[in-house]
Structure 1
Amino acid sequence: MRDYSGHSDHELIDLIKVGDEYAFENLYNRYWDRLLYFANQKTGDRVDAENIVQDVFVSLWNRRSELQITSEIAHYLVVSIKYRVIRLFEKQRTQRLNEEKSLSSFDILDNSTQQYLEFDELKQRLEKLICELPEKSAIIFRLSREDGLSHKEIAGQLDISERAVNDSLVKTKKSLSVSLRSFLNSYLL
């Protein structure tokens, strides 16, 4: 390695622009520790800090022929570190939001699946209870709840009084309510 320790930063940049690897190495050694310390203070993570500083120097070398540094190189490097830290934090934030979104949508899907299964089981239980009702009560209940017919319409179809329809529905609802309540209590406990 050539000794460029007596050269100024601007002289090193001029040599780097023409592809002098030794000048680049000298600049790298001159600023590595300070930049690593600065990046580590900002990120709180040594590995992230090392990656950021390494990326800044790699970028500097890759763009060497087109470098237009008008300020001090130390200032240029520190600003580059700041921008990379900001990009790292933005990337981490986006990743975290995506993970949270993924988890929450998974929870919603998982919860809705569970609710569907519970609803389906409740529906099956209700259907079984309706099938156990006396035939006329079951028909009246289905015409009311499934077909959406009024008491008057049901009475007309079955040739019974509206009062008989109402009494049957009240009795059926009470019976189903008691049976479903005991089912739900045993299910929830």
Structure 2
Amino acid sequence: MKLPLDIERELIRKLINGDKIAFSHLFSFYKSQVLYYCVHFVKDKEIAEDITQDIFLTVWEKKEDIRIEQSFSAFLYTIARNRIYDIFRSLSARSVLYEKLMEQAIDYVDDVEKSLEEKNIQELIAQALEQLSPRQREIFELSRNRGLSHKEIAEQLGLSVYTVQDHIKNALEKIRVYLIPFISACPILVSLIILKYVKP
């Protein structure tokens, strides 16, 4: 499935100009395709998800290099192919890869928090929550602020546990996407920040 060319080019034009919403739309559309591509090579979904985040972080950082008239998917897969090649060249074992990514993330924690001095992390989280739908925010805050379990939230709102889990999963994904442009270290760090400052 492909985006209609006119819609894709409009989103790319906005992305080049630094529009985070356009970036979020492109991320949402292409993420599963890139993830599938990465899983095919690394054979580990969690590692592939980290690599996928890294790829889209690179897209954001290189947004000014994108050419509207060229294929965005080709641009995306070129980054993905190069990233995977670099990983296989430097690390031979998947377990070593994961440990390396985690070590890198931990090493960057202090640097990233310093880089966010002007944008308090709690403020960024609050802004990210504004991107959620009313229902997502309601469920997310019941989980985070009141510490309710998924079952308790489901009973309170008359929903299934699966629906609650799905809303929380989607909420975390939106928060992750919102934070990516603000983080200049590595994408796995987004997950660490969410774990540290958000308690779903």
Which category of TM-score, normalised to the shorter sequence, fits these structures?
Answer: 0.3 to 0.5
TM-score using structure 1 length: 0.43
TM-score using structure 2 length: 0.41
Looking at both structures, which has the greater relative contact order when contacts are Cα pairs under 8 Å and sequence separation is at least 6?
Answer: 2
The structure in which a higher percent of residues are helix is 1
